[in-house]
Structure 1
Amino acid sequence: MGPRESVVEAVAEITGLEPVSVHGLSPAVWEVELADGDLVVAKRTDGAQAEAAGLAWLAESGTVPVPGVRGHDSRWLVIEQVEPGNASGEAAERFGRQLAALHASGANAFGEAPPGAPSMGTIGLAAMDYASEASWPRWYAEHRIVPYLARATALTSAEKTVIEQVVERIEELAGPSEPPARLHGDLWSGNVHWAADRRVWLIDPAAHGGHRETDLAMLHLFGCPHLDRVLLGYASESPLADGWPRRIPLHQLFPLLVHVELFGRSYAHQAVTAARQALQL
């Protein structure tokens, strides 16, 4: 069975409606028109259940718009299609306020899984542990830095030693204590969808309870249109703790280690640089 036949079969079974057209957006994502005229997006992913639970958890907060889930099985997720539009400063500032409200909707613990999620989540193509703790510094060190460092085989022993120093000093590097926030969890610019309705929609979450500075550090990692306006809106709703820009590299270390695991040496220098910058606090 070819890719087109696979997506047609999966979407028909999940939605109960026959696809009438299929357009590939990437090797694992398709835009599908259903027999009733609706447009949906079908994504083939081993993290379908976790992503569906994450979208529902974010939607429950009533803050940032997310696509509605039409259904899923163990390998396919089908969500409503959101018409793309242009980025604007006004939308960015509104998004910043909404993101602050999302974070403030909270979680019960750092690492908490969305209701209905499986025992293990995903971030991109990597596995993500839902183990939870009350303390952010120890949780971040033990469940975000250490496991991904162990799997980052592209790093040299000397490079790993630099990152291990971050683990050893995590308590002094972490900044003021904050309650668990409800995070998107994979908030790089590609998951910030600028829509035709002049709003920002969030897609492809790795949602969990975490530190709100982590989502903001992700926005800085690969660039985000009108980021200054996003931050302005965020601060108007929920000011950040003193010194938060200096902690950006600390929060970027986790996603960079994920990239080292998935893509090898191409991200090694960036991960080690982030660790060195974090240690200079």
Structure 2
Amino acid sequence: MDAARDPLSESIDGAVPEGDGLHRVRLRDGRTAFLKQRRDRPATLLQAEARGLRLLRSAGGVRVPDIYAEYPHALLLEDLGEGMPTEDFQARAAHGLARQHLVVSSHFGLEHDGWCGDSPQDNTVDTDGHHFFATHRLQPQALRAHRSGYIDDADHARVQRLCERLPEFIPRYSPSLLHGDLWSGNLHCCSNGEPALIDAGAAHYGWAEADLAMLTLFGDPGPRFFAQYAEHAALASDWRERAPLYNLYHLLNHLNLFGRGYLGAVRSVLRRFVGAA
């Protein structure tokens, strides 16, 4: 791109990095920042990221990076640095996440669609959480996996049966403000040891337990974290029994994004809740 016509060049001190991804850059005012570029995806991906960051910030919970500037395929974000967790890192993260989840809505979803990783996420609003999770989370991912040949007819049918039975497994919770893609890597440790939430393109209103469940999918912050969370927000004693249901959405998404290595985990959840094919 011609730097003279690139608005990024007006903010960055030096050449604009060419590749997609995250780049630490220096701004003309002397600050460092992260440039997040995704020219390989629609502009809606980073638009969803910016909206999600602002929404999470409004909750007054866990810290999120400031947005310095927005462009169609790039964001300039506050450089939070990376450090070692302070002694109270988990408590601050747990209490902040609980405060965020206390922000509730009259509907599930969001006024704008989002992205979960590199997958578009349909946030069409719905007053019924079970219908929302089935129609706008599990079924689109299962259909995509079926069309790609990652799951067979029997797997697809079991996802449909599970969707019909969701009210048997998940209570009728109110919709809370979620990060939406809260694996351990998106709970960032800043240079000062403070927790922060990053990569917020999947933010929406949904079941609070779904955020907690994903924190256990690729690692687990441990029982103390969840006990500290429960000091500030309601947490059912049996929430972990439902965690695989919430995580099925992310397992299907990973199956679609990264391939058959996730098929066993998907089938394990289906066997647990609706039996063998």
Whether these two folds match at TM > 0.5 is yes
Q: Structure 2: how far apart are the matches of 1:30 and 1:85?
A: 18
Q: Deviations over 1:17-50 (max 9, x none)?
A: 23247789x9511111112211111112331111
Report SS of the residue matched to 1:77. Answer: strand
Is the contact made by 2:12 and 2:25 (CA closer than 8 Å) also made in structure 1?
no
Hey, what's the Cα distance between the residues in 2 that align with 1:72 and 1:23?
Answer: 16
Where in structure 2 are the equivalents of 1:1-281 lying within 5 Å?
1=1, 9=6, 11-12=8-9, 16-20=10-14, 27-45=20-38, 46=42, 47-88=45-86, 90-113=88-111, 119-152=112-145, 153=148, 154-174=150-170, 176-205=171-200, 206-224=202-220, 226-279=221-274
Partner of 1:116: none
Report if the CA contact (8 A) 2:108-2:204 is conserved: yes
Instruction: State the alpha-carbon separation in 1 of the partners of residues 274 and 175 from structure 2.
Output: 24
Q: CA deviation at 1:185?
A: 0.6
**Cα deviation digits, residues 223-263 of structure 1 (max 9, x gap):** 14x43332121011113124211000000011111111111
The verdict on how the C-alpha distance between 1:87 and 1:227 changes in structure 2, with shifts beyond 3 A counting, is farther
1:18–1:77 distance in 2 versus 1, CA, 3 Å? closer
Counterpart Cα distance in 2 of 1:213 and 1:242: 11
Q: Which string of whole-angstrom CA distances, capped at 9 and with x for unpartnered residues, describes residues 132-171 of structure 1?
A: 1111111101111111100012112222233222112111
- In the alignment, is the contact (CA less than 8 A) between 1:70 and 1:79 conserved in 2? yes
Q: Secondary structure at the match of 2:231?
A: helix
Q: Name whichever of 86-95 and 71-80 sits farther off.
A: 86-95
Q: Distance in 1 between matches of 2:20 and 2:46?
A: 16
Aligned AA (1:30): H
SS at match of 1:169: helix
2:31 is aligned with what amino acid? D
Letter paired with 2:233: S
Q: Equivalents in 1 of 2:184, 2:243: separation in Å?
A: 16
| CA–CA distance in structure 2, aligned partners of residues 278 and 68 of structure 1 | 41
Please report the TM-score for the alignment, with normalisation by the length of structure 2.
0.88
**Quick one: structure 1 residues 87 and 10, their matched pair in 2 at CA, closer, same or farther if it must change by over 3 Å?**
farther
Aligned length: 265
Q: TM-score, normalised by structure 1?
A: 0.87
Distance in 1, matches of 2:123 and 2:49, equals 13
**Alignment partners' CA distance in 2, 1:123 and 1:248:** 18
Q: Which amino acid aligns with 2:209?
A: E
